[in-house]
Amino acid sequence: MMPRLDLGSRLRAATVHSLASIAVALLALALVFFVWYPHPYAHIAGGIDLFRVLVAVDVALGPLATFAVFDRSKGWPVLRKDLAVILLLQTGALLYGLHVLFEARPVALALEHNRFRVVSASEVVRNELPSAPEGLRTLPLHGPRLLRTEVPSDEAERMETLTAALAGTDLAQRPRYWRSWDETARAQLRTEARPLDALLRSAPDAATVLDAAVAGTGLPRDRLRYLPLIARRAEWVVLVDMETGDPTGFAALVGD
């Protein structure tokens, strides 16, 4: 005679596991979205998509595995080993997922001539960090650092950066060409910034998206311009305050 499945015990065990997993996921959410990917970089840098995968493993698969293996008839020594293996695998998956999110976190919002680029930690040429200016030699943990890039004046070096860019390593990913955000950057931004009306052609609902983004800055529309923003997982625009010469907001639109 087949032993009767104790569905009640399985459901209770899976429920307890689910609640514990949700609590851990909430802590991870706070770390990811309030520290590593502050708004709106969760969207721009792909943090939301990566976190969804993490939650699917942590909140769904772990409790499901507990439901599948929880059987009191095995005896507690065997059952404890089964649960320990599940928790070990779940913890390993959680730590790996957090490591992926940590390496993909945005560390620089860099002005490259006539556009901005969001640089993730994994994209930075790490061996060039000692060559960066003082104050830019470490990668931040609390969202990206605003900076500009400087094209080298030496012709041979300029050709080398062009070759590297064609191979996939852009200027903003190379710390030796990072410079602090300064009046040079602000002057460059004012020169290159483009009228907002050019964005209205990018999507059917562009006017609504742009109006909301302008309202979010708290500044009058005629004081704002934009520059395109490139990231690994998205193309947005950065709104520019022409009075200060600083970035002041973002819009989920594609700029020319």
Q: Percent of the chain, pLDDT > 90?
A: 65
Domain spans in the chain, listed from the N-terminal domain onward: 7-104, 108-181, 189-256
Longest dimension (CA), the chain: 84
Query: What pLDDT is attached to residue 71?
Result: 76
**For residue 1, is pLDDT > 90?**
no
Contact (Cβ atoms closer than 8 angstroms) between residue 238 and residue 116: yes
User: What is the structure's pLDDT at 3?
Assistant: 53
**3-state SS, residue 90:** helix
pLDDT confidence band for 2 (50 / 70 / 90): very low
What pLDDT is recorded for position 219?
A: 97
Angstrom distance (rounded) from CA 108 to CA 178: 10
Cα distances (Å, whole numbers) of residue 238 to 112, 160, 203, 249, 250: 13, 29, 16, 6, 5
Confidence of residue 173 (pLDDT cuts 50, 70, 90): very high
Indicate the average pLDDT of the chain.
91
241 or 90: which leads in pLDDT: 241
Predicted local distance difference test score (pLDDT) of residue 119: 97
What integer is the mean pLDDT of 179-201? 94
Is the Cβ–Cβ distance between 41 and 106 less than 8 Å? yes
Burial of 63: CB neighbours in 10 Å, binned 0-12, 13-18, 19+: buried
